[in-house]
Amino acid sequence: MDSKLREKLLGKFAEMAAKSAEIGNRLLDPAVAADHHVYAPLVKEKGELDRILDSYAAWLDLARERGEADAIIADPSSDPELVEMAKGDLAAVAGKEEKLLLRMQDALIEKDSGGNKNVIVEIRAGTGGDEASLFSGDLFRMYKKYAETLGWKTEILSSSPTSLGGFKEIIFSIEGVGAYGRFRFESGGHRVQRVPETETQGRIHTSACTVAVLPEAKEVEVNIKPEDLRIDFFRASGPGGQKVNKTSSAVRITHIPTDTVVSCQDEKSQHKNKAKAMQILRSRILDRIRTEEERKRSAERKIQIGSGDRNDRIRTYNFPQDRVSDHRLSRNFNLTEVVQGRLDSLIEALADWDRSEKIRNL
């Protein structure tokens, strides 16, 4: 690791150590301890910082060992045999330091990305009519299969199915440690090129969907005031407009300050639909906050994965050529494997690309 990056990295960890100590002092304040809305987020923040700071504490121990070895070597009165031992210790410390610095770098990147969170994925049909809706369904099943291979739970939060078996829109959560870290690379425009089942002349059509990937927000992370919400109830309807439920169980929630609107109608229970709508709303608002923070930090961050610009085409699924092209990587992957949910090689390649981008901007 070059000296400038090393200096910046250690500086950031020193700042986090100071922040952890500051939070620790605040938690000792009886007034803070008595207010759950203040205390709980602070405990969570300190816990996340301390997990990352473990490697920094180990690096500080190595730095002390290096200092002791340097002092022995620099002392003219040191025994020659002791000097040789100190030189050996110094070489061992250098190797350990480099590994620790790389681990610290990865931990910092993971912290900035919120990679350990559960995730909410929103897929919407774009250009292409019925074919785009069918492609939305294909993408949903692809992600569901991938989540299953990792032992993660998938739950549909909201959907607008079509009579052909696709979706105009589908929103679902994926619950598992590291879910956002794996799925955050999927945000953007997905294009498909294939012959639709309804095509009689064998012509290849191009359709598109957009995918938005949001880290799931817990209630303590986003403060939503009840007076900032407008909640409407209405009757759910299915494909073609037929009634699914005769009672007003569907829920539409509007967050007035941000004009964010979320609707849920999949459940027959009004209470369950409201809970799911709030889950989506919190995550959208958290994503909005994170996006604004990223934009403020650096204009260059706009080009990174998950920056909030979801209209850029990131991937093309070419069925006639059995090829998936990821345009960020300028690489092709086997389409049959990808649509079956075998995404590891693709996502790992994107993780490497993302890491190099973030190191460059560190």
Can you give the pLDDT of all 362 residues of the chain as single tens digits?
A: 677 888 888 888 999 999 999 999 999 999 999 988 889 888 888 887 887 888 888 889 988 988 988 899 998 888 888 888 888 888 888 888 888 888 788 777 666 656 667 889 999 999 888 899 999 999 999 999 999 999 999 999 989 999 888 999 999 999 987 788 889 899 999 999 999 876 767 789 999 999 999 888 765 567 788 898 999 888 776 654 444 556 678 899 999 988 999 988 888 888 888 889 988 998 888 888 777 766 654 443 333 333 333 346 899 999 999 999 999 999 999 999 999 999 999 998 998 888 777 766 65
Give CA–CA dist 248/166, Å, rounded.
Answer: 25
Domain count, the chain: 3
Are 198 and 328 within one domain?
yes
pLDDT for 314:
94
**Does the residue 221 lie in any domain?**
no
Are 124 and 65 within one domain?
no
**Does the residue 197 lie in any domain?**
yes
pLDDT for 306:
37
pLDDT for 116:
67
pLDDT for 295:
65
Pair of tokens at residue 228: 């900032």
**Does the residue 67 lie in any domain?**
yes
Are 109 and 123 within one domain?
no
pLDDT in tens, 201-235: 778 999 999 999 988 876 556 778 889 899 988 87
pLDDT for 23:
93
* The last residue of a domain, from among 273, 292, 311: 292
pLDDT for 178:
79
Are 179 and 130 within one domain?
yes
* Contacts of 261 by beta carbon, 8 Å cutoff, 6+ apart: 252, 253, 254, 255
pLDDT for 288:
82
Are 275 and 316 within one domain?
no
Are 20 and 169 within one domain?
no
Range of the domain at 80: 3-113
Give CA–CA dist 23/32, Å, rounded.
Answer: 11
